[in-house]
Amino acid sequence: MTRFARVQRHDSPAAVPRRRRTAQQQAVLDMLGGSDHFRSAQQLHLELNRQRPLRVGLATVYRILQTFTDQRTVETQRAEDGETLYRLRTDNGHHHYLLCRRCGHAVGFTPTTLEQHTSHLARQHGFADVTHHIDLYGICPRCADAPCG
């Protein structure tokens, strides 16, 4: 499975609320804003250290990504192997993804019936603050039509 997942962007890093940031945080934010792919912390770390004069350690990248996740500046996605992938949040909606195992192409979707059923089930059993995560993995039409080898 590729570590990249391509999705349609709805806004830009300029739309991210401005907070006081360190140079390392700004570098990570700029890197995330430069692509619409989901990427791993390791990929971001490699790209940062290749493209920027500022050296940022891998542990620092992880801490920054966790901070941005907590602030809802970035969204996370799990690769099929369980690795966490990150990208700049494009909207505040709740989405699931259909991900291509070969090229990482991602199609976001919101299963309305499932969302309604989840809410009903939670209310029925008295649960609050319920979350869920659904991802579908397969081979996109482009990869399915590509010659093998």
Question: Which domain, by its residues, includes 114?
Answer: 5-145
Distance CA 112, CA 134 (A): 13
pLDDT digits (tens, 9 = 90+) for 44-85: 999 999 998 888 999 999 999 999 999 989 988 888 888 898
- What CATH number is associated with residue 63? 1.10.10.10
Total tally of structural domains belonging to the chain: 1
Residue 90 C-beta-side C-alpha neighbours within 13 Å: 16
pLDDT digits (tens, 9 = 90+) for 116-137: 888 899 999 999 888 877 888 8
